[in-house]
A and B are shown apart, each in its own frame.
Chain A
Amino acid sequence: MKGVLKKIVWGTAAVCLLAAPAVQAENIKIGAIFAVTGGASFLGGPEARSAEMVVEEINKAGGINGNTLELIIKDSGANPEKAISFAKQLIEEDKVLAIIGPSTSGETMKLKKIAEQGKTPLISCGAAEVIVNPVAKYVFKTPQKDSFAVKKIYGEMKKLGMTKIAVVAGNTGFGKAGKAQLLKAAPEFGIEVVAAETYDKKATDLTALVAKLMANKDIQAVVNWSIVPAQAIIAKNMRQAGWDVPLFQSHGFGNIKYVEAAGAAAEGIIFPAGRLLIAESLPDSNPQKALLLKYTNDYEGKYKEAASTFGGHGYDAITILATAIGNGGTDRDKLRDAIENIKNLPGTGGVFSFSAEDHNGLDIESFVMLTVKDGKFVAYEGK
């Protein structure tokens, strides 16, 4: 019943907002395209909720330079054709200042040209590196680059002396991009990928795949790259088969629900992630700490569910945008420049520093290696 209650609360809040007399100087419209339903709802849902939360908070505090924000959320259901339709609608009809989202890489790639033509800044929550490489003038993204995650994992493997690994990935945009990066970067670290497989995002059991990989005695570790529930399934199936090589996951594992789903099988999984998941154990000097704790508390208090790095992408997108509006005002081109000029802005994914060449703004240090211990995320100390 949680979902229904949530809707009622939101509905009431929306009505109250509408009923309040608009005394502010200006109402800044911001478009948001998220996959709230459909195959990527585990991304789009938390992203939309986080963005909504931030906007509410900004408006409660009096807006940006006295201007309130109006967030127009469109649910694409992860369909590119809908995302295209919505993007055009937001740009021309609603005349939004900027768009945050979409949730997936496939949708974002199709909006790149539209954002360029419409001269509207787009801050995507899609993971694949191709979104910002090559750089398009108006397109930005908040999730960390997958090449950094790959390098972080391979660096760790090198320390452990591993040279032969298996790569498995889900058939989503995230899995596809990650698999490509894993294959590309392997020689650089002296690592050989001896098996690479892609499974369905709705896979319900991967015992057969595990059996196949296990039969190859050379494999010293498995890297799984996906954002879907199947990453808990592969962990379970590996441990059930009694295969105890280390399992590395991508930063897509940064959701405590997956740890809960994998239960005892999640123990010892190693993966790179932003610091959101270990916010409490960070030293007080860390620039992100205060923000991470606030986001986690606010989100969990408001929506009664665990905060994840996915929701964090949405949080970062709207925070970056709000900062840029504060600095650059409400002209699309000035806003774009203002985003590029953002330096050292702490977010949930890391500390953002954009430039004309870097439209992601995060470096490899935005990742830390984590592991699962007693059902909780903790920093990985190495062996």
Chain B
Amino acid sequence: MTPELFFQYLFAGITYGIMYAIVAIGFNIIYNTTGIINFAQGEFVMLGGMISISLLQFMPLPLAVVCAVIITMLVGALIEMIFIRWLDNPSVLRLIIITIGLSILMREVALHIWDESIRSLPYFYGNEITTIGIGPVRISPQVLWVIGVCGVVVIGLSLFFKITPLGREMRACSANRTAAILCGINTRNMVTFSFMLSAGIGALAGCVMSPITYTQYDSGTALAIKGFTVAILGGLGNSMGAVAAGLLLGILEAYSVAVVPLAFQDAISIAILLIILFVRPHGLFGSSEAARLTEF
């Protein structure tokens, strides 16, 4: 392998990895406060993309993205309030099935609103063939946007959870729910906030990724599966773990192209994940404590 090719694969892998990671982070936020894996997370990404594309006809791009994020956050909050909030101590299995149902439903609603065609936002900078040279490698500026947004999200989140009172309350919820209630924290509100937050992050991801990956009514599912994989691999609830695991999976996939036929790529990357899971049942970067916390 020439050094040039080596770096090309590396950058392709980073692009994939960051996209997976940003979806995985959305999974983690909800998981942290509620212990739920929200299987409809991929649909938030799709919604963000679709709404911003629709809004673009009426307003400039930055405003469309902001509005799309806000609308998706409201959708997230609404979903939590209608479908989750009032359930009395639901089992994990029940929640998994509810969120799977939600994901199916959101996808179908999107199909009947936006039909089956593919759409995309324009490139934020330049156009489809604009590239920036980094050493021997050429990458699209949109990739830098994605990486940048992911970085901002990760840093923003860790600051939010460490510094702001709201973030601290949410962390308290995840650490010990009963204790949080005793301290006067409205845990139900915290759950709603966590849905809003992860919907917003998903929507933002959907907007920045849209020019690269396009948006279609069913594009959420594949992303959710990859995001879920990465979230598990990184250890559920661990955002830095998600980024590391995302990069690992993305780079692995990129290099695997050189060795195995592309058609088998997914099968192999998931097989590797399974093996890792068997050896380290709590993910690469998760603690075994966390894995034991939630059972059916």
Tell me if chain B binds chain A: yes
Q: Does A257 contact B (CB under 8 A)?
A: yes
Q: Contact check, A263 vs B128: say whether CB atoms are below 8 A apart.
A: yes
Assuming A198-B261, A211-B5, A264-B129, is B115 touching A204 (CB within 8 A)? no
Stretch at the interface among B7-15, B59-67, B71-79, B196-204: B7-15
For residue A205, CB closer than 8 A to chain B, the reply is: yes
User: Which residues in A have some Cβ–Cβ distance to B below 8 Å?
Assistant: 1-4, 6-7, 37, 39, 41-42, 45, 171, 197-200, 202, 204-205, 207-209, 211-212, 214-215, 229, 232-233, 236, 239-242, 257-258, 261-265, 305
Minimum-distance CB pairs A-B, first 5: A204-B213, A41-B116, A207-B12, A263-B128, A211-B8
Query: With a CB–CB cut-off of 8 A, which chain A residues contact B214?
Result: 204, 229, 232-233, 261
Interface 1/0s, chain B 206-241, versus A by CB < 8 A?
000100111010110010000000000000000000
A42 lies within 8 A of B129 (CB): no
Contacts known (A197-B261, A198-B261, A211-B8); A4 close to B112, Cβ less than 8 A: yes
Given the complex of chains A and B, what is the CA–CA distance between A171 and B116 in angstroms? Answer: 19
Given contacts A3-B113, A208-B13, contact A240 B138 (CB under 8 A): yes
**Is the pair B216, A209 in contact by a Cβ cutoff of 8 Å?**
no
What are the residues of chain B within 8 A of A197 when measuring CB–CB? 261-263
Is B152 interfacial (CB 8 A cutoff)? no
Kindly state the separation between the CA atoms of A241 and B218 in the bound complex, as whole angstroms. Answer: 28
B266 to chain A: which residues have CB within 8 Å?
A: 200
* Chain B positions 250-264 with a Cβ under 8 Å from a chain A Cβ: 253-255, 257-258, 261-263
Tell me, rounded to whole Å, the shortest Cβ–Cβ distance linking A256 to chain B: 11
Query: Does chain A have a CB within 8 A of B114?
Result: yes
A75 to B: closest C-beta gap in Å: 11
Q: B129 contacts A236, CB within 8 Å?
A: yes
B128 touches A42 (CB 8 A): no
B122-143 contact mask (Cβ, 8 Å, vs A): 1 or 0: 1100011101000000111000
**Of the candidates B140, B216, B218, which one forms a contact with A240 in the assembled complex, judged by CB atoms under 8 Å apart?**
B140
Chain B residues closer than 8 Å to A257, beta-carbon distance: 117-118
Instruction: Contacts A171-B263, A197-B262, A212-B258 given; indicate if A1 touches B113 (C-beta within 8 A).
Output: yes
B138 interface neighbour in A3, A232, A241, A258, Cβ under 8 Å: A241
30 contacts between A and B (CB under 8 A): A1-B113, A2-B115, A3-B111, A3-B114, A41-B116, A197-B262, A198-B262, A199-B262, A202-B219, A204-B209, A204-B219, A205-B12, A205-B213, A208-B9, A211-B5, A211-B9, A211-B257, A212-B257, A214-B8, A215-B5, A236-B128, A239-B129, A240-B129, A240-B140, A242-B138, A257-B117, A261-B214, A263-B122, A263-B123, A264-B128
Set of chain A residues within 8 Å of B265, measured between Cβ atoms? 200
Complex interface: chain A residues within 8 A of B209 (CB)? 204
Cross-chain contact A209 with B257 (CB below 8 angstroms): yes
Give Cα A202 to B266, complex, Å.
Answer: 12
Chain A residues closer than 8 Å to B138, beta-carbon distance: 240-242
Alpha-carbon distance between A1 and B261 when the two chains are bound, in angstroms: 41
**Mask: chain B, 1-43; 1 = CB below 8 Å from A; 0 = not:** 0101100110111011001000000000000000000000000
Which chain B residues lie closer than 8 Å to A305 at the CB level? 115, 117
Q: Cα distance A4–B113 when bound, in Å?
A: 6
CB proximity of B262 to chain A, nearest CB, Å: 5
Report the Cα distance A41→B19, complex, angstroms: 25
CB neighbours (8 Å) of A263 from chain B are: 122-123, 127-129
Complex interface: chain A residues within 8 A of B52 (CB): none
CB of B187 within 8 Å of the partner chain: no
CA distance A271 to B265 in the complex (A): 28
Interface size class of B (residues with CB under 8 A): 35 or more
Q: Which residue of B lies closest to A40 (CB)?
A: B116
With A229-B214, A236-B128 in contact, is A211–B115 under 8 Å at CB? no
Complex CA distance for A212 and B129, rounded to whole angstroms:
19
Given known A-B contacts A41-B116, A257-B118, A261-B214, A239 and B12 have beta carbons under 8 A apart: no
| Closest CB in chain A relative to B103 CB, distance in Å | 15
A200 to B11, CA, bound (A): 20
Residues of B within 8 A of A240 (CB): 128-129, 131, 138-140
With CB as the reference atom, state the residue of chain A lying closest to B132: A240
Minimum CB–CB distance for B131 against chain A, Å: 5
A3 to B110, CA, bound (A): 9
Q: Which residue of A lies closest to B212 (CB)?
A: A205
- Residues in A with CB closer than 8 Å to B253 are 208
| B99 CB–A CB distance under 8 Å | no
CB distance from A210 to the nearest CB of B (A): 8
What chain B residues lie within 8 Å of A229 (beta carbons)?
118, 214, 216
A305 to B258, CA, bound (A): 40
User: What 12 additional pairs, Cβ within 8 angstroms, besides A171-B263, A205-B15, A208-B9?
Assistant: A4-B112, A6-B115, A200-B266, A207-B12, A207-B15, A211-B257, A233-B214, A240-B139, A241-B131, A262-B128, A265-B128, A265-B129
- Judge if B194 is at the interface, Cβ distance under 8 Å: no
Report which of A1, A204, A242 forms a contact with B212, defined as CB distance below 8 A.
A204
In the complex, the chain B residue whose C-beta lies closest to that of A196 is B261
> Which of chain A's residues have a CB closer than 8 A to the CB of B5?
211-212, 215
Is B174's beta carbon under 8 Å from chain A?
Answer: no
Instruction: Answer whether residue B192 sits at the interface, using C-beta atoms and an 8 A cutoff.
Output: no
A226 to B82, CA, bound (A): 41
Inter-chain contacts of A211 with B (CB < 8 A): 5, 8-9, 12, 257
* Contact A239:B257 (CB < 8 A) given known A2-B115, A205-B16, A305-B117: no
